[in-house]
Chain A
Amino acid sequence: MEVTQILLNAQAVDAAVRKHAEESLKQFEEQNLPVFLLSLSNELANHEKPVDSRKLAGLILKNALDSKEQLRKTELVQRWLSLDVSVKSQVKSCLLQTLSSPVPDARSTASQVIAKIAGIELPQKQWPELITSLLSNIHQLQPHVKQATLETLGYICEEVSPQVVDQDQVNKILTAVVQGMNASEGSADVRLAATRALYNALGFSQTNFSNDMERDYIMRVVCEATLSPDVKIRQAAFECLVAISSTYYDKLASYMQDIFNITSKAVREDEEPVGLQAIEFWSSICDEEIDILDEYGGDFTADSDVPCYYFIKQALPALVPMLLETLLKQEEDQDQDEGAWNLAMAGGTCLGLVARTVGDDIVPLVMPFIQENITKPEWRQREAATYAFGSILEGPSPDKLIPVVNVALNFMLTALMKDPNNHVKDTTAWTLGRIFEFLHGSTLETSVITNENCQQILTVLLQSMKDVPNVAEKACGALYFLAQGYEDSPGSPLSPYFQDIIQSLLNVTHRDDAGESRLRTAAYETLNEVVRTSTDETAPVVTQLLPVIMLELHQTLETQKLSSDDREKQNELQGLLCGCLQVIIQKLGASETTKYAFMQYADQIMELFLRVFACRNATVHEEAMLAIGAVAYAVGGNFLKYMQGFYPYLEMGLQNFQEYQVCAITVGVVGDLCRALEEKILPYCDGIMTQLLKNLSSSQLHRSVKPPIFSCLGDIALAIGENFEKYLIYSMPMLQSAAELSSHAVATDNEMLDYANQLRNGILEAYSGILQGFKNCPKAQLLVPYVPHILQFLDKLYNEKDMDDAVMKTAVGVLGDLADTLGTHASTLMNQSVASIEFLEECLSSDDPSIKESAEWAKMAISRAVSV
Chain B
Amino acid sequence: MPPPEVRRSIKRSAVSDQQRRRELALLRQTQQRSDSQNRARRLASSVFTLSSSSSSDLILPDKDILTRAADSEEHEAHLDESVAPARELNVVQASKLKGREARQWFARQLMLPEWMIDIPPKLDRDWYVFARPAGNRCFVVSSNGTTISRLRNGSVLHHFPSSLPNGSRTRDSSGPASSYCVLDCIFHEPDQTYYVIDMVCWRDYSLYDCTAEFRFFWLNSKLAESGACNSPSTYHRYRFSVVPIYDCNQAGLHAAYSTSMPYTKDGVLFFNKHAHYQTGNTPLALVWKDNYCSQYFLDTDSQGLVPTQQQVVLEMQEDGKLTTSDDPPVVFGSLEVDFIQKSEFRAGNLLRFAIKDESVRVVDGKLELGDLQFISKSNRARAFADSYSKVFFQYAARHSPLKIEDIAASILPNLPDDSPIVDVEMGS
Contact = CB atoms under 8 A, between A and B. Distances in A.
A867 B29 contact: no
B22 A665 contact: yes
Interface of A: 272-273, 276, 280, 283, 338-339, 341-342, 345-346, 348-349, 352, 390-391, 427, 430, 477, 521, 524-525, 528-529, 532, 575, 579, 582-583, 586, 623, 626, 629-630, 633, 661, 665, 668, 671-672, 675, 711, 714-715, 718, 765, 768-769, 772-773, 775-778, 780-781, 784, 813, 816-817, 820-825, 857, 860-861, 863-865, 867-868
B205 A586 contact: no
Contact of A528 (B8, B21, B53, B207): B21
Contacts of B24: 532, 586
Interface residues of B, number: 47
Closest A-B pairs by Cβ, 3 of them: A823-B47, A525-B17, A341-B3
B360 to A, nearest CB: 39
A772 B43 CA distance: 9
A349 B7 contact: yes
B54 to A, nearest CB: 9
B205 A857 contact: yes
A352 B10 contact: yes
B209 to A, nearest CB: 4
A781 B36 contact: no
29 contacts: A272-B1, A273-B1, A276-B1, A283-B7, A339-B2, A341-B3, A341-B4, A348-B11, A349-B8, A427-B11, A430-B11, A521-B17, A525-B17, A623-B18, A630-B25, A668-B25, A675-B36, A715-B36, A718-B36, A718-B40, A772-B41, A775-B45, A776-B43, A776-B58, A781-B48, A781-B53, A817-B41, A823-B48, A863-B210
Residue of B4, B45, B207 with highest tally of chain A CB at under 10 A: B45
A864 B11 contact: no
A661 B9 contact: no
Contact of A586 (B10, B13, B28): B28
B45 A823 contact: yes
Contacts of A781: 48, 50, 53
Contacts of A427: 11
Nearest to A287: B6
A776 B37 contact: no
B22 A349 contact: no
Given A629-B29, A867-B276, A348 B209 contact: no
B45 A582 contact: no
B222 to A, nearest CB: 9
Contact of B214 (A583, A821, A863): A863
B224 to A, nearest CB: 16
A860 B28 contact: no
A772 B47 CA distance: 12
A860 B45 contact: no
A868 B50 contact: no
A672 B41 contact: no
Contacts of B29: 629, 668, 671-672
Interface string B16-40: 1110011011101100110011001
B53 A820 contact: no
Given A623-B21, A668-B25, A863-B214, 13 more contacts: A280-B7, A341-B2, A348-B9, A390-B10, A525-B16, A525-B17, A582-B21, A630-B25, A661-B22, A715-B36, A768-B37, A772-B41, A857-B205
Interface string B399-417: 0000000000000000000
Contacts of A575: 18
B211 interface: yes
Contacts of A346: 3, 7
Nearest to B209: A864
B83 to A, nearest CB: 15
A675 B40 CA distance: 12
Contacts, number: 154
A162 B391 CA distance: 88
Nearest to A272: B1
Interface of B: 1-4, 7-13, 16-18, 21-22, 24-26, 28-29, 32-33, 36-37, 40-41, 43-50, 53, 58-59, 205, 207, 209-211, 214, 218, 274, 276
Specify the main secondary structure of chain B where it touches its partner.
loop
A352 B9 CA distance: 10
B116 to A, nearest CB: 23
A780 B59 CA distance: 14
B53 to A, nearest CB: 4
Contacts of A861: 41, 45
A524 B18 CA distance: 11
A531 B283 CA distance: 63
B207 to A, nearest CB: 7
Contacts of B36: 675, 715, 718
B39 to A, nearest CB: 9
Nearest to A667: B29
Nearest to B13: A477
B275 to A, nearest CB: 8
B10 A711 contact: no
A629 B28 CA distance: 10
Contacts of B50: 781, 784, 825
Question: Which of B2, B44, B53, B210 has the most chain A CB within a 10 Å cutoff?
Answer: B210
A629 B25 contact: yes
Residue from A765, A776, A820, A868 having most chain B Cβ neighbours under 10 A: A776
Contacts of B28: 586, 633
Interface centre among B22, B32, B41 (most CB of A within 10 A): B41
B53 A776 contact: no
B62 to A, nearest CB: 12
Nearest to A853: B38
B274 A867 contact: yes
B33 A345 contact: no
A815 to B, nearest CB: 12
A633 B4 CA distance: 42
B3 A813 contact: no
B210 A671 contact: no
A665 B25 contact: yes
Given A579-B21, A863-B214, A715 B45 contact: no
A342 B13 CA distance: 18
A390 B53 CA distance: 70
Given A341-B3, A349-B7, A816 B45 contact: no
A675 B29 CA distance: 10
A743 to B, nearest CB: 22
A320 B135 CA distance: 79
Given A280-B4, A341-B9, A346-B3, A813 B37 contact: yes
Given A633-B32, A776-B46, A868 B21 contact: no
A468 to B, nearest CB: 16
Contacts of A524: 17
A579 B214 contact: no
B162 to A, nearest CB: 22
Contact of A863 (B25, B53, B211): B211
B18 A579 contact: yes
B26 A668 contact: yes
A525 B37 CA distance: 33
Contact of A775 (B1, B43, B207): B43
Contacts of B48: 776-778, 780-781, 822-823
A626 B22 contact: yes
Contacts of A820: 41, 45, 47
B127 to A, nearest CB: 15
Contact of B9 (A345, A532, A672, A824): A345
A341 B214 contact: no
A107 B214 CA distance: 78
A420 to B, nearest CB: 21
A425 B17 CA distance: 24
Contacts of A784: 50
Contacts of B22: 626, 661, 665
Contacts of B17: 521, 524-525, 528-529, 579
Contacts of B53: 778, 781
Contacts of B1: 272-273, 276, 341-342
